Amino acid sequence: MRKHTEDYNYSCDTCNKKFKIKSDLTNHIRFSHREHPLLCDVCGKTCLNSNSLYVHQKFAHYKAKFECKICKRRMVSQENLNEHMLRQHEKRQNFICDECGKTFSRNNRLTMHMRIHTGDKPYTCTICNKSFARNASLKQHLLIHTGIRPYVCDICGKAFAQKPGLITHRKCHPGNHPPLPRVIIDPILNDVMNN
């Protein structure tokens, strides 16, 4: 959509910056203007930001509808459930690593795995020249250079540049916690790179 449309239908109420996609506006508000706490419109609970409100509502009020009959895990779509069944329960692993014997359900996963054996790191940071085997790892690394901390603890609000930092931090809070929401960092990186 970013490439193929020129419609900027979403604008920031604070600074009037315009966006093509609503999620880009949401991330802009979260990281540029620091959101205020939000109330859940179902039960009135106060959440630190829109991200923690999303997690709260997802697990407290809007349960995923598609349940795995084997492990009872719930998914938001039939497509996700089908993928889960294939990966977790059918274990169709057709691609075998000649070096260590590990098997994979997809050839592209075997290709990425082979970089462990070859040491190939084709993705290089243009800022510090550190190299990575996966593009996703490079993107995570780039967050360090931006100073942005998109991984926010849903319990206390402490923010982290890297997901492992948040995972480690959450262990200091007692009790069971819902799974971490997915943080999409591409809009954040695009916003920083374009400014």
**Strand boundaries in 5-48, DSSP class E:** 10-11, 18-19, 38-39, 46-47
- Strand, helix or coil for residue 111: helix
Per-residue pLDDT of the chain (195 residues; tens, 9 = 90+): 556 677 888 888 878 888 888 878 877 777 676 667 888 888 888 887 777 887 888 777 777 788 888 888 878 778 888 888 877 777 655 778 888 888 777 788 888 888 888 888 998 998 899 998 888 888 888 888 888 888 888 888 898 888 888 888 988 988 887 777 778 888 888 777 776
Q: Which residues pair with 46 in a beta bridge?
A: 39
Tell me the pTM.
0.49
